[in-house]
Amino acid sequence: MKRRDFMKLGAGFGAAMASLPPLSSARAQTKTVFKASDVQPPGYPTVVATENLGKKLEAATQGRLSVQMYPSMQLGGEKETIEQTQIGAIQMLRVSVGSMGPIVDDINVVNMPFLFKNTAHAEKMMDGPIGQELLDKITASPNAGLVALCWMDAGARSLYNTKRPIKTIDDVKGLKFRVIGNPIFIDMMNALGGNGVAMGYDQVFSALQTGVVDGAENNPPSYVFDNHYTVAKYYTLTQHLIVPEILVFSRKTWDGLSKDDQALLKKLGREAQLEERDLWNKYEASAMEKAKAAGNEIIEVADKKPFQDAVKPVWDKYGPKYAAMIKRIQDVA
């Protein structure tokens, strides 16, 4: 049995206990450990913020509830861990909105290219009523089987590749770029002149090494701290997507918790949202410094308008469905 399969099996057994509701006062005192998963490595802002949430939870419940973090894709990639969280084998999961869009269509609005003016604009949306409304749509979705606790910053996504510096949109042509498995992102990459290849995050590094793809698109910390920068030496600051991330909880386990425990998790989630943002800003700056120190070429895009114009077909195809919400988001000041 492969190590990952063994860990998944272990996660399933653990969750079977964690997801059961209290049967007696004696059982209510039983210590429950929630399994938390993240594709990112130890020290990554989303990992640290979730770990700190777990420490606060343990302190607030005198050790009755706690969190065990499994970073670095130990329990699988995003698609696999979403499925495990839906069935209660994992309790807490940090997942990209890009991966959530195909599950809860309303959330796809956030995946539109060049939707936000900048990361500050995205943060205002997340912190305000629209942000809560979108989280509630995940929680209310019968298809999801998840409870959305909070947003987490993931900065802006840009293009990186192994072949050449991308200085204009013409430089994108003919290159194969990995994207999250979401039709919006595939169409976006194709509209930019590249070839969008849907692929799990856990496969990206080897795909870059072997030439299965020429590049990918992601934020600076993912580019650097998962070592993509060691093979893809050109990073172009297109900032075409500002795709936040979400911390979700298994509905299967959630429904077995008391109202007080649910309220506590929501409160700690909100605190984690703000803490992760501060961690993110520092981590992103560190990533850029590391990439530059390695001699990688960081390319500023002098004029983003050709990139914005190129994705008009994506807006024509997907935009009308989300028109009302798009306007509300763009009006956030």
Which whole-number Å values give the CA distances from 248 to 26, 33, 196, 235, 306, in the listed order? Answer: 28, 16, 27, 31, 36
Helix (H, G, I), strand (E, B) or coil at 149: strand
Residues 180 and 69 placed together within one structural domain of the fold: no
Residues 177 and 97 placed together within one structural domain of the fold: no
Using alpha carbons, select from 238, 237, 230 the residue that is nearest to residue 296: 230
Residues 224 and 316 placed together within one structural domain of the fold: yes
- Tokens 């192994």 map to which residue? 162
Residues 73 and 101 placed together within one structural domain of the fold: yes
Range of the domain at 38: 3-107+116-153+245-284
Q: What is the pLDDT of residue 291?
A: 98
Residues 190 and 311 placed together within one structural domain of the fold: yes
The number of angstroms, rounded, from the C-alpha of 313 to the middle of its chain's C-alpha atoms is 25
Q: What is the pLDDT of residue 28?
A: 52
Q: What is the pLDDT of residue 26?
A: 46
Specify the CATH number for the domain of residue 125. 3.40.190.170
Q: What is d(CA 49, CA 46) in angstroms, rounded to the nearest whole number?
A: 5
Tokens of 238: 């297109």
Q: What is d(CA 153, CA 106) in angstroms, rounded to the nearest whole number?
A: 19
Residues 132 and 198 placed together within one structural domain of the fold: no
Instruction: Indicate if the alpha-carbon torsion angle 202, 208, 210, 213 is positive or negative.
Output: positive
* Total domains present in the chain: 2
Tokens of 171: 């430089």
Residues 70 and 81 placed together within one structural domain of the fold: yes
Residues 73 and 122 placed together within one structural domain of the fold: yes
Structural contact between residues 95 and 38, judged by C-beta atoms closer than 8 angstroms: no
The number of angstroms, rounded, from the C-alpha of 19 to the middle of its chain's C-alpha atoms is 24
Residues 131 and 162 placed together within one structural domain of the fold: no
Residues 38 and 187 placed together within one structural domain of the fold: no
Query: What's the pTM value of the predicted model, to 2 decimals?
Result: 0.88
Residues 13 and 140 placed together within one structural domain of the fold: yes
* Beta carbons within 10 angstroms of residue 92's beta carbon: 27
Residues 140 and 168 placed together within one structural domain of the fold: no
Mean pLDDT by 10 residues, the chain (333 residues): 46 48 54 97 96 98 98 95 98 96 96 97 98 98 97 97 98 98 97 97 96 98 96 98 97 98 98 98 97 98 96 98 98 94
Residue 232 gets the label, from left (phi > 0), alpha (psi -120 to 50) or beta, of beta
- Tokens 């419940």 map to which residue? 61
316, HSE (Cβ side, Cα atoms, 13 Å) = 7
